[in-house]
Amino acid sequence: MKNIIVTGGAGYIGSILVPELLQKGYRVTVIDNFLYKQNSLANICHNPNFQVIKGDVRSKHVIVPLISKADIIIPLAALVGAPIANQNSVDATSINLVATHLMLDKISKDQIVVMPTTNSAYGTGDKNNLCTEESELKPISQYATHKVEIEKRLMEFENSISLRLATVFGMSPRMRIDLLVNDFTYRAVKDGAIVLFESHFKRNYIHVRDVARAFIHGLDNHDSMKGEIYNVGLSNANLSKLELCEAIKKHVPNFIFKEDNFSKDPDQRNYIVSNNKIEKTGYETAYTLDMGIEELVKGYTMLQNTRYNNI
């Protein structure tokens, strides 16, 4: 039975991924600082192959012994996204950059690393906004810049896989409402209206459960996928913000959205992403954008936006 260390494993993605890894027969140890006071892994505490440690990935005495015992490392611990990284620049640097370098310093050539990076590193893409794994990286935010640096270091390890994730959506036990699809759907359900800035800007999206499936796909096909970078997104969901609102309106008919053509969006990302490379390995998404919006609408009947944000 292989040992997996998942840093930040009680977060938005980890809370979906860790139970799936246990189901696949791995022994999983999660290290998390439980910053958001979440109990998102409570339903798997009965599993003898699950261990959890409350700790900080920036602490050498915590992380180094754990890394030494792992066959596989999945580093999810991060302050994720440009807004929270901008608001907490020092913490973002120490967690997203310094702590990850520390971890990579301690990894042997035989250990497997599957790491999430971000397709926000593409910035605005080429003249047609189209991006493949070979496209020039033009990170706009500190968050994306750090991820680019870490990915470059990661690719020095032949057993590593980098998953450049699209903007993630969907319900999770450790919910994040600030992600774009989640945010817009929340506004549709709770406020009934939204004003769009630069509504033509496009982005790619991916369901959180398909993200978990991508990690497992990388482990199942490690020998053929190792040493490579893969975009992970829905190929039929390269949508503008306006198109996203139109998709949400199909599920929330009273949703009103208006365009402000005189203001700029602080987030200037605008790109269309190709996911052909990972699809050629046999990976297929299972959750459509419509399925995600439908589940969010149901989920938001249970949630109030008082504790489920990163910012």
Would you say residue 127 has pLDDT above 90?
no
If you average pLDDT over every residue of the chain, what do you get?
93
What is the per-residue pLDDT across 72-117, written as a single tens digit (0 to 9) for each?
999 999 999 888 888 989 989 999 999 999 999 999 989 999 999 9
Question: Cβ neighbours of residue 35 under 8 Å, at least 6 residues apart?
Answer: none
Amino acid, res. 83: P
Query: 204 forms bridges with which residues in the sheet?
Result: 238
DSSP 8-class letter at 149:
H
Superfamily classification of domain 3-169+206-232: NAD(P)-binding Rossmann-like Domain (3.40.50.720)
Structure-token pair, residue 158: 């032949």
Domain locations in the chain as residue ranges: 3-169+206-232, 180-204+236-299
Say which CATH architecture domain 180-204+236-299 belongs to. Answer: Alpha-Beta Complex (3.90)
| DSSP code at position 97 | I
pLDDT at 43 (0 to 100): 96
pLDDT in the model for residue 264: 73
Q: What is the pLDDT of residues 23-53, one digit of tens each?
A: 999 999 999 999 889 999 999 999 999 999 9
At residue 58, the pLDDT reads: 94
Q: What are the Cα distances from residue 97, in Å, to 57, 85, 168, 231?
A: 11, 11, 21, 21
